Amino acid sequence: MNLKDKVCIITGAASGIGHGIAKRYIADGAKVVIADLKLDAAQKTADDLTAQGPGEAIAVEMDVTNEDQVNAGIAKVIETWGRIDVLVSNAGVQIVHPLQDFPFEQWKKMLSIHLDGAFLTTKAVLPHMYEAGSGSIIFMGSVHSKEASPLKSAYVTAKHGLLGLARVISKEGAKHGVRANVICPGFVKTPLVEKQIPEQARDLGISEDEVVNKIMLGETVDQEFTTIEDVAEVAHVFAAFPTNALTGQSLVVSHGWYMN
Ligand code: NAD
């Protein structure tokens, strides 16, 4: 199972987990599209990873909530490489508030980035995958696709929703050789998580150490963060797996925080 010459689009790949997945795919010889909000950050990532090889990367400016930008980005990929084998819908943000104070605009923004983003990118790549008779779609879920935490109503709602969308894609896509799966990481130290530590300490009235050791890692089997490389390895398996035997699934990678 390898990704040599496979064309893989990864949203939110200029940072964190998406960047790590891009690095893993390029190490395996893939042609990777770094799709992110800001072209300069995406371009820098693409240049750095191409220099590492043996695969190569291009950058695409894409706000995953904007249908025109998504469609233009996918059109650029087709123009450049003529096919799409893998979509990793990974772009995401976190906004925490107690439910009674959650601003409606921020609720809508959260659902839009996570759910509209997954829908719009999937809708744009499916015709190309169906034409080729194969494809792998991967959503970046979370332990919060299965569990709830205080302050994270919009995030938990969106991440649960991705499970449903992946299952529908699995059923509609099967006859075209298209699979869909969800990765559900525990806490990974990326900018998204670093930002939450002081915010949660403030909102919950506890110290930052308590946020890390009790809230983030308290339920793990070994009090360890999941790493970007752990998640990238799972993303490699889902991308490279060759048949519909592995579809409609979600895999939790969280040091045992959530077991199912
Ligand atoms: P990150 O902040 O390091 O990276 C997120 C990337 O998404 C950034 O490059 C950002 O520019 C991009 N992005 C944000 N909004 C976008 C938009 N509208 N269009 C295109 N790109 C956009 O965060 P991360 O921790 O690497 O998170 C990546 C994914 O992993 C998210 O979906 C997140 O919910 C999920 N996740 C993270 C953790 C964790 O602990 N870090 C755990 C479980 C799931």
User: What is the residue extent of each domain of the chain?
Assistant: 7-186+227-253
| Percent of the chain scoring above 70 in pLDDT | 100
Rounded to whole angstroms, the Cα distance separating 172 from 7 reads: 22
Architecture category of domain 7-186+227-253 in CATH: 3-Layer(aba) Sandwich (3.40)
User: Is the Cβ–Cβ distance between 220 and 257 less than 8 Å?
Assistant: yes
Residues 92-132 pLDDT 10s: 999 999 999 999 999 999 999 999 999 999 999 999 999 99
Residue 75 clears pLDDT 80, i.e. is over it = yes
pLDDT tens digits along 153-203:
999 999 999 999 999 999 999 999 999 999 999 999 999 899 989 988 998
Does 120 contact ligand 1 (Cβ within 6 A)?
no
| 252 in contact with ligand 1, CB cutoff 6 A | no
d(CA 125, CA 52): 27
Global pTM? 0.98
Q: Is-contact 11 3, C-beta < 8 A?
A: no
Q: 113 in ligand 1 pocket by Cβ < 6 Å?
A: yes
Q: Are the CB atoms for 17 and 232 separated by under 8 Å?
A: yes
| Å from CA of 206 to ligand 1 middle | 25
